[in-house]
Amino acid sequence: MLDAGRHPKINLLSYCEVEEVSGEVGAFQVKVRKKARYVNEDLCTGCGACVEKCPTTVKDTYNEGLGERTAIYKYFPQGIPSTHCIDAENCRQLGQGKKCGICAKVCQANAIDFEQQDQMLDLEVGAVVLATGYDVFDPSVIPEYAYDRIDNVVTAMEFERLLSASGPTHGHLDRPSELALRAEVAVLEKDLNKVSRQIDRLEEKHGKKTAEFLKEFEAGKAGEDEDFERWATLAEKQTAAEKVLAPLKKREAAAQTAKNLAFIQCVGSRDFRFNRFCSSYCCMHSVKEAMIAHEHDNQTTSSIFCMDLRAVGRGFEEYKLRGGKSSNIKYVRGRVAEITEDEAHNPIVWYESTTSRQVDHETFDLVILATACVPSAGTPKLADLMGVELDQNGFFKTDPFAPLDTTRPGIFVCGCAQGPMDIPESVAQASSAAARAAEVVATVPKAAAGGGE
C-alpha cells in the first residue's frame, strides 16, 4: 500500500470515480470525477486533531458498522493517502447547514476547505485494468439465519473486525449483544448523571438532602417554593432510572467474551435461491478465523458447519488439519437449517449431521456466517461505461483461455472482479493483467498513448 502511494510512476487518484470512457485500445479518453474531500490534500499532515474535536459521530463502514467514526475522518488509521476527508452528508456545517467549523479552527495546517468542489479530470490512457473487487453478500435475505434479528449472528467480515487489535473491541471477542448492552447502559448513565446533577444543585440551594426533603414534601410540611415540584419529579426520575440501570449493570459485569463459536459455510453461495457458484475462499477464511480466535484465547472452541470443506490450494489441507488438531476446531458435515436464540442472547444452531444422520441442535456464544462473494454494487454501471459484458453471475465476462481479457480489446480484469478468488490468486492475476496491459501500451507509439498507461 505504502509503495503504491509513494511510487513516482503511480498517480494515486483516491476518492475518484470514472464517469465516461471513449476511444479505443491504445488511446482511451477517460473522464474521472475527483470527489471533494473538503480537505486540501497537499496541506493535510494527517495529524488527526480535527477527528479529536469533531462533534458528529456516525457508524464506521470500515469496521462494518460495529464502531463509530467522526464526520471528518480517515478511512482507517494506516490508510494511504494519509489525508482526512469530510463526509459532507453527516457534517454539521456542510450537510445540515449549522454553524460549526471546529475542524477548521483546530487544523494547524489550514487544510480544511469547505468551499472545495468536485473536479473533473481528463486522462489519456492506453489500456485499462478493472480491479474493482467484490461485495460481501447480505445475509439478511436468508430468513432462517435470522442475521437481522439475532445480535450474536455476524458475518465473517464483521468477525474479522471484532478480532482485530485495531477494531472496535481492540481484539477482544466481545459479543454484539454485549456491545449493544454497553451502549444502552452508557446512554442511561448519561441521563441519570444529568438528573443527579440537577438534584445536587437543588440540595445545595436549599441546604438539605433529597431524602429529608421528600419526607417533608410528602407530609406537606415542605412549604412553598417553585423548585419543590420539580425536585420531587427529578427524585422520582432518579429512582426509576436507578431501578432500570441496576439489572443491566449486573448483566454487563457478568458478560464474558465469546468462547464457543460456530461457523456456517456457504451462506448465499452454492444455494440455488441466491448464487449457484462457490465463493472459493470462505472455507479457508473460516478455518483461519477460528485459528486466530483460538490464538487470542486458548479456551476458544469452534465448530465449522459445512457441506464439504474445500481446501484445494497448496498447503490448505495441512492448514485445515492443523486447525483441527491444535486450535480446537470441530468440522461438522451438514447444512444448518435454522438459527434461534435463547434468553441470554445465545444463538442455537439447528442442523442435521450427515455423518451421524441425526437432527441435532447446539448452543453457541457467537455464530459467524461465511458470506458469499458477490459482484460489487457498481459492476453493472461500470460495465456499461466501459462497454464490456458480464457473465451469468454478474462478474466481468472472460474467456477460459484468456482469463484476463474482457470482451473489449484493451480492457483487462483481475481479482474478484472476474470471479471469487483468494488473495494469492488475486495477486497472481493482477501481475498477469499488468503484463497484458503493458503489451498493449508498449506496442502503441508513445505519442498516441500520451505517455499514459
Partner 1 sequence: MVIGGGIAGIQSSLDLAEMGIQVHLVEKLPCIGGKMAQLDKTFPTNDCAI
79 binds partner 1 (CB under 8 A): yes
Stretch that binds partner 1, among 90-98, 165-173, 224-232, 297-305 (CB under 8 A): 165-173
Nearer to partner 1, 12 or 359 (CB): 12
Nearer to partner 1, 1 or 447 (CB): 1
Closest contact distance (angstroms) between CB of 165 and partner 1 is 8
Alpha-carbon distance of 154 to 64, in angstroms, equals 10
Q: Does 83 bind partner 1 (CB under 8 A)?
A: yes
Question: Does residue number 165 form part of the binding site for partner 1 (CB under 8 A)?
Answer: yes
Nearer to partner 1, 335 or 397 (CB): 397
In the chain the first and final C-alpha atoms are separated, in Å, by 20
> Which of 70, 90, 93, 132 contacts partner 1 by CB under 8 A?
132
As a whole number of angstroms, the distance between CA 267 and CA 142 comes to 8
Q: Does 74 bind partner 1 (CB under 8 A)?
A: yes
For position 4 contacting partner 1 by CB under 8 A, the verdict is yes
CA 56/CA 391 separation, integer angstroms = 42
174 touching partner 1, by CB under 8 A:
no
Task: Determine the Cα–Cα distance for residues 116 and 207; give it in Å rounded to an integer.
Answer: 57
Residues 282-311 that bind partner 1 (CB under 8 A): 284-285, 287-288, 291-292, 295
Length of the chain: 453
For residue 385 the three cell numbers come to: 461505461
**Of 117 and 431, CB closest to partner 1:** 431
What residues from 8 to 27 belong to the interface with partner 1 (CB under 8 A)?
8-18
Contacts of 173 by beta carbon, 8 Å cutoff, 6+ apart: 162, 163, 257, 258, 259, 293, 296, 297, 300, 366
Q: Which is nearer to partner 1, 171 or 228 (CB)?
A: 171
Told to check if 422 binds partner 1 by CB under 8 A, we report yes
Of the candidate residues 139, 168, 415, 419, the single one contacting partner 1 (CB under 8 A)? 415
Among 58, 192, 434, 444, which residue sits at the site for partner 1 (rule: CB under 8 A)? 434
Rounded least distance, CB 320 to partner 1, Å: 10
Residue 79 to residue 2: CA distance in whole angstroms: 9
Q: Burial level of 376, CB count in 10 A (0-12/13-18/19+)?
A: middle
From residue 267, give the alpha-carbon distance in Å to each of 139, 148, 262, 287. Answer: 7, 14, 13, 15
Stretch that binds partner 1, among 91-99, 119-127, 231-239, 245-253 (CB under 8 A): 119-127
Q: In terms of Cα–Cα distance, which of 44, 97, 99, 94 is closest to 74?
A: 44
**E strands along 203-341, which residues?**
260-267, 301-306, 329-333, 336-341
Task: Kindly tell me which of 258 and 441 has the beta carbon lying closer to partner 1.
Answer: 441
- Enumerate long-range contacts of 35-38, CB under 8 Å, 24 or more apart: 35/118, 36/88, 36/116, 36/117, 36/118, 36/119, 37/83, 37/84, 37/85, 37/86, 37/116, 38/85, 38/86, 38/88, 38/91, 38/94, 38/112, 38/113, 38/114, 38/116
Is 378 near partner 1 (CB under 8 A)? Answer: yes
Indicate whether 377 belongs to the interface with partner 1 (CB under 8 A): no
**Is residue 438 part of the contact set for partner 1 (CB under 8 A)?**
yes
Per-residue burial over 113-122, b = 16 or more CB atoms within 10 Å of its CB, e = otherwise: ebebeeeeee
Q: Is 60 in the site for partner 1 (CB under 8 A)?
A: no
Q: Which DSSP state fits 359?
A: E
164 binding partner 1? (CB under 8 A): yes
Q: Are strands 373-375 and 411-413 parallel, antiparallel or unpaired?
A: unpaired
| Residues 380-399 close enough to bind partner 1 by CB under 8 A | 382
Considering CB under 8 A, how many residues would be counted as binding partner 1?
81
Q: Of residues 179-238, which lie at the interface with partner 1 (CB under 8 A)?
A: none
111 in contact with partner 1 (CB under 8 A): no
**Window 313-352: contact mask with partner 1 (x via CB under 8 A):** --xx--x---------------------------------
